[in-house]
Structure 1
């Protein structure tokens, strides 16, 4: 199982580093979509984190790659809602001709070893070069990201399984322009939607709160 996941992790590491190389090319038409996927894919985020650790340790070449693979194996096990983990399990159970009891025990062992919630990543690139990425977790929650053609994050929205949403819009320099919350579950009497916007210095500009009964409170801080 470990060897199987290590092979898959190494392959994904190759694809991750290829995306980095593509983004380094001047005028690449895929720059925006690549940056969008790099910024939102949980496995790629793990690669970036562990690569920094490897660099701090002075690791290079095969030693670096081995360090990244070993420390990203569990994340690979939950990628694609455990597709690789479960297929490896089925292969091992079949080739070793385990009995039903042995197979059940082995599947439980593997699930407990790689127990992090699984996810899938979907992406869409539009004609103007902007991108939309969805990270769907097996618990029903979704994180949406939108990026412009240069890969700058435009928005992020976390949608819980019950419909509650929390999100933000960003300026090109990465600062937050606005934050919003939506009571999609309909179980919060304080608000139905709540939005706050911020000026260039990060100060609250205005707040807008709307409720299920149609009432609304707005506060304009008029920072100017």
Structure 2
């Protein structure tokens, strides 16, 4: 058994009440009943500012990772280029590189939505919110839950990526509760795919846990 890893403590998210066109409060995450969202909800994005708190969570996570793990933290707009997904407007990017050679780096990209994109390892993007439209009915709290879960899974060594002989990319992420997430990775540019194939060939057992910072 290794040394236990201190847990991240989330900062309080801003408290705010958002209203619909009739002035009534919107209860995000529980807006739609058994019939589901109306057809036009997919094309609407109301109150995107409800996700502003994700930037606070990301800043706190970056600070936690820097204090807990032996890793280098660097901020530069060009690091937003780590993302594979297009159509995202970055306002800031922070790359965290663990000093353990076989541990997966993380790049946090703050977006103007406002939202957050995290690039992990060689070829995986995690986007928060995943969509943001009214039909999806996401909240900052649920996005933060998933963000923290993913970051902890990566740092504890539960992350594995692959590129098969046919050029298909995929990933698996093991969580603390024993559950798994993963599947096929979206389209990966050929040059990135070649780089990923070469790097992942050195990691037959997946990415290693992040080394802890000496106390």
TM-score by length of 2: 0.26
Would you tell me which structure has more helix in proportion to its own residues?
1
Higher strand proportion? 1
| Higher RCO (CA-CA < 8 Å; seq separation 6+) | 2
TM-score (norm 1): 0.25
Larger radius of gyration: 1
